[in-house]
């Protein structure tokens, strides 16, 4: 018998519907697993009492036949970037010390209203800036994937805690946020599914802002079907976020038909990068073969501006971050470090409250927005962004989805790349272009690297065509048949 925390959302939903298990049992199994995985540092705040309370209410609704959705009674972990009413919310930053929101973000409210059970708030890179979950004020997160060299692996970032919560079976699903790859890259490192919907599909209201024109909420799950189920409950128009799009939310699960015959899958030649290990092109080729075997058509395409995506992202994202983070001044939120004048108090608070990476981004952002450099950097980066979006528009006249690797490597050891920001930024080379174009995309476990750690495959689809994306990703998942489990925590068997 599988431990309950090892269920997929789909399995748990079916067992709940049949009356075989109760939400309370499921939640207890997750709480126990979380307690056994303290070493992972995946959670900043655990909410076991609240979870049991919500699970009990779920069981009552289920007993009365008043189940609210497929997520009724399902334990879900929440990245600590979402404001949760009455529950500490930190963005993994010292500057938000003691911040307990008086309001609930729209996405977590939607999840709550769908009957799901929040298990806690997961660790992340400070303000979601990072690719390894090593910039958190609360310390690094350790991946459950272990090798024999005694070194702990990073889970990827910035949604590293959420990725570990799912990979190590501490919750059945989790939510992350993705600005340039923060859902998909940790999903690749941890051997799980991570999905970023179209920009505007989910409300950003109440989610702590990093780069507002890029930030999107998304599910992190054990299977593609689970991601479809979760997104169904997260998405929807929100009058409180003017960038959330007033479109009906289609039935994502119904789009998973198992049939990709005739689907056109684009392979962009610009995603072959110098110096990437052989295993990356191998897994990519395997992915194309899997689609071919399933009856899809492989089409070579070109996205000519791809090489400018990463530099453009590292101008646009810090620019928006420098503006968004100006609100943390020691007056309105969290930490205050006194000084002899108001200016000194601001400087002391921001100097102590923000970590090194966040300060680096604020400096870059302020620089590229400054009067003398605005045209040369920020305006240029926005122009490049338009070119990248146009490349995709053209490509999607020929193909339905685009297949690429998710990340240029498997997970590295904690401590590596930390003194080399550029090497760290390279992690996002495959995920950033779709972010700049606002496109829906997903990472699916594709196989193992030579070192015995997971590697993801990345699919991108047309704006608001999450249905095709889920359908294609589900077929890829079946073909790849990734069943290996990590050694660390969470599993008793
Ligand atoms: N790693 C990228 C960065 O540090 C992306 C982060 C994210 O998507 N939140 O900006």
- The neighbour count for residue 227, using CB atoms within 10 Å, is 33
Mutational pocket test of ligand 1: of 133, 181, 196, the residue with most ligand atoms within 8 Å of the beta carbon: 181
From the alpha carbon of 128, which atom of ligand 1 is closest? 9
Please check whether residue 357 is in contact with residue 365, taking contact to mean a CB–CB distance below 8 angstroms.
no
Whether pTM exceeds 0.85: yes
> From the alpha carbon of 214, which atom of ligand 1 is closest?
8
Q: How many Cβ atoms are within 10 Å of 301's Cβ, its own excluded?
A: 20
10 Å CB burial of residue 8 (0-12, 13-18, 19+) is middle
- Centroid of ligand 1 to alpha carbon of 41 (angstroms): 20
Pocket test for ligand 1, best of 80, 124, 131 (most atoms within 8 A of CB): 131
Residue 28 Cα to ligand 1 middle (Å): 33
- Which residue puts its alpha carbon closest to atom 10 of ligand 1? 129
Atom 4 of ligand 1, nearest CA residue: 130
Mutate to test the pocket of ligand 1, among 91, 124, 157, 189 (most ligand atoms within 8 A of CB): 157
* 181 contacts 432 by C-beta, under 8 angstroms: yes
Q: How far apart are CA 354 and CA 370, in angstroms?
A: 21
Catalytically active residues, by annotation: 79, 158, 182
Ligand 1 centroid – CA 107 distance (Å): 20
Q: Residue for token digits 């890179």?
A: 125
Please state, in angstroms and rounded to a whole number, the distance separating the CA atoms of residues 323 and 378.
13
Beta bridge partners of 455: 447
CB 121 within 8 A of CB 93: no
Residue pLDDT tens, the chain, 493 long: 579 999 999 999 999 999 999 999 999 999 999 999 999 999 999 999 999 999 999 999 999 999 999 999 999 999 999 999 999 999 999 999 999 999 999 999 999 999 999 999 999 999 999 999 999 999 999 999 988 899 999 999 999 999 999 999 999 999 999 999 999 999 999 999 999 999 999 999 999 999 999 999 999 999 999 999 999 999 999 999 999 999 999 999 999 999 999 999 999 999 998 888 999 999 999 999 999 999 999 999 999 999 999 999 999 999 999 999 999 999 998 999 999 999 999 999 999 999 999 999 999 999 999 999 999 999 999 999 999 999 999 999 999 999 999 999 999 999 998 888 888 898 999 999 999 999 999 999 999 999 999 999 999 999 999 999 999 999 999 999 999 999 877 555 4
How far does CA 285 lie from the centroid of its chain?
Answer: 25
CA 177 to centroid of ligand 1, rounded, Å: 9
Cα of 309 to ligand 1 centre, how many Å? 13
Tokens of 419: 């003194």
Question: Do residues 304 and 415 touch, judged by C-beta distance below 8 A?
Answer: no
End-to-end CA distance of the chain: 9
For residue 131, the ligand 1 atom closest to its alpha carbon is 1
């Amino acid at each position: 018998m599988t431990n309950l925390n090892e269920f997929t959302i789909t399995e748990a939903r079916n067992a709940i519907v049949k009356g075989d298990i109760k939400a309370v049992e499921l939640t207890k199994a997750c709480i126990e697993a979380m307690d056994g995985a303290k070493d992972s540092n995946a959670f900043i705040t655990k909410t076991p009492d609240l979870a049991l309370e919500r699970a009990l209410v779920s069981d009552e609704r289920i007993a009365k036949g008043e189940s609210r959705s497929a997520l009724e009674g399902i334990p879900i972990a929440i990245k600590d970037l979402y404001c949760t009413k009455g529950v500490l919310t930190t963005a993994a930053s010292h500057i938000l010390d003691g911040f307990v929101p008086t309001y609930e973000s729209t996405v977590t409210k939607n999840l709550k209203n769908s009957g799901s059970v929040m298990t806690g708030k997961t660790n992340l890179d400070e303000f979601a800036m990072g690719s390894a979950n090593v910039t958190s004020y609360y310390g690094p997160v350790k991946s459950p994937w272990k090798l024999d060299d005694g070194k702990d692996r990073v889970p990827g970032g910035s949604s590293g805690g959420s990725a570990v919560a799912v990979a190590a079976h501490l919750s059945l699903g989790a939510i992350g946020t993705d600005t340039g790859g923060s859902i998909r890259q940790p999903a690749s490192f941890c051997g799980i599914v991570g999905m970023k919907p179209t920009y505007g599909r989910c409300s950003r209201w109440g989610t702590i802002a990093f780069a507002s024109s890029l930030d999107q909420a998304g599910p992190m799950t054990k299977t593609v079907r689970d991601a479809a189920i979760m997104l169904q409950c997260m998405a929807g128009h929100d009058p409180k976020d003017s960038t959330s799009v007033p479109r009906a939310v289609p039935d994502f699960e119904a789009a998973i038909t198992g049939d990709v015959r005739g689907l056109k899958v684009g392979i962009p030649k610009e995603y072959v990068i110098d110096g990437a290990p052989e295993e990356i092109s191998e897994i990519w080729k395997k992915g194309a073969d899997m689609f071919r075997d399933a009856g899809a058509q492989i089409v070579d395409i070109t996205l000519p501006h791809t090489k400018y995506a990463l530099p453009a992202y590292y101008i646009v994202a810090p620019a928006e971050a420098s503006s968004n983070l100006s609100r943390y001044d020691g007056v309105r939120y969290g930490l205050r470090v006194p000084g002899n004048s108001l200016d000194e108090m601001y400087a002391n608070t921001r100097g102590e409250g923000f970590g090194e990476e966040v300060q680096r981004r604020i400096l870059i952002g302020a620089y590229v927005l400054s009067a003398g450099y605005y045209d040369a950097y920020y305006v240029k980066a926005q122009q490049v962004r338009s070119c990248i979006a146009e490349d995709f528009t053209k490509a999607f006249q020929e193909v339905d989805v685009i297949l690429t690797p998710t990340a240029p490597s498997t997970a590295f050891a904690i401590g590596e790349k930390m003194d080399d920001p550029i090497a760290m930024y390279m992690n996002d080379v495959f995920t950033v272009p779709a972010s700049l174009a606002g496109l829906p995309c997903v990472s699916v476990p594709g196989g193992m690297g030579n070192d015995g750690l997971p590697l993801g495959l990345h699919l991108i689809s047309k704006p608001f065509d999450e249905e095709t994306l889920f359908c294609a990703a589900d077929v890829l998942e079946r073909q790849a048949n990734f069943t290996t489990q990590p050694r660390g925590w969470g599993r008793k068997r």
